A and B are shown apart, each in its own frame.
Chain A
């Protein structure tokens, strides 16, 4: 294959196509989660869950329900977490705190595998991520 510089127009088109595809991928992942959490909301299920996690999430100035997107995001990915946040009707402050926690702690299985792959101590770093997410959540709940 020749190593010529690709021309700008077609490259941009390819990039935009990839971008649209990625966006569609995100939206596709979000939809069933949003639907499922909405259904949980109209049944007693979300209320029970909120009750259960109220003491934990309360430490970060968050309602108990937010444990759901935090756990889903930490285990799976941010798109699932956002899908789960949509039906909760959170305030901007709650969204900002939860977003910060999730941005530090997400997709932990996949990303920890990569961290391990580059030869970094994966277990202490996994604990660092969780600890940092909780610490930042607590700090933000106090200062925002």
Chain B
């Protein structure tokens, strides 16, 4: 028989685990379903022009906004297939790959990853808004050192 203190620890962990599991089930399931519908009905396509304006301060080309947005919503690992396809098709040039790389390195999978930490009790304002603010500040600072597109005009 396990000592009482060990039993208490195990029970406590089990309860916390069940609580977090339930939260994850309730949060992740509809999010994945929603993302599936977004993908299936191509609901993101009409957003490309407004998004291009939203990210105008980055001086990123319209073609590259797809890669950026897929990473922001779906993440680097899950959106990886799309990201690599954008590179293969030539939509993502060198400068934009750097910009997208910097942005996504600091902020990506903003919906699901944020919510799974809300499930265990993190403050969403801090983990979401502070993270985005931090990303924008760092990127703005780095933009000083990133020249605009190389002279090869296409």
Contacts and interface: CB of A to CB of B under 8 A. Distances in A.
Contacts of B138: 128, 132
A27 B80 CA distance: 23
A95 B122 contact: yes
Interface in A95-133: 95-96, 99-100, 102-104, 107, 110-111, 114-115, 117-122, 125-126, 128-129, 132
Interface of chain A: mostly helix, strand, loop or mixed: helix
Contacts of A100: 122, 126-127, 130-131
A67 interface: no
Instruction: Bin the interface of chain B by size.
Output: 35 or more
B6 interface: yes
Nearest to B64: A118
A6 to B, nearest CB: 6
A74 interface: no
A22 B28 contact: yes
Given A103-B127, A118-B83, A128-B102, A82 B97 contact: no
B122 A107 contact: no
B72 to A, nearest CB: 13
A2 interface: no
Contact of A18 (B17, B32, B105): B32
Interface stretch (A47-55, A57-65, A84-92): A84-92
Interface of chain B: mostly helix, strand, loop or mixed: helix
A75 to B, nearest CB: 13
A129 B108 CA distance: 12
A55 to B, nearest CB: 24
Instruction: Bin the interface of chain A by size.
Output: 35 or more
Contacts of A87: 9, 12-13, 16
A38 B9 contact: yes
B94 interface: yes
Interface of B: 5-6, 9-10, 12-13, 16-17, 20-21, 24-25, 28-37, 40-41, 67, 76-77, 80, 83-84, 86-87, 92, 94, 97-98, 100-102, 104-107, 113-114, 116-117, 119-123, 126-127, 130-131, 134, 138
27 contacts: A11-B40, A19-B28, A19-B29, A19-B33, A19-B36, A23-B32, A30-B21, A34-B16, A38-B10, A42-B5, A78-B116, A82-B117, A89-B12, A92-B122, A100-B122, A100-B131, A103-B127, A107-B76, A107-B77, A110-B80, A111-B80, A114-B84, A115-B101, A118-B97, A120-B101, A121-B101, A136-B134
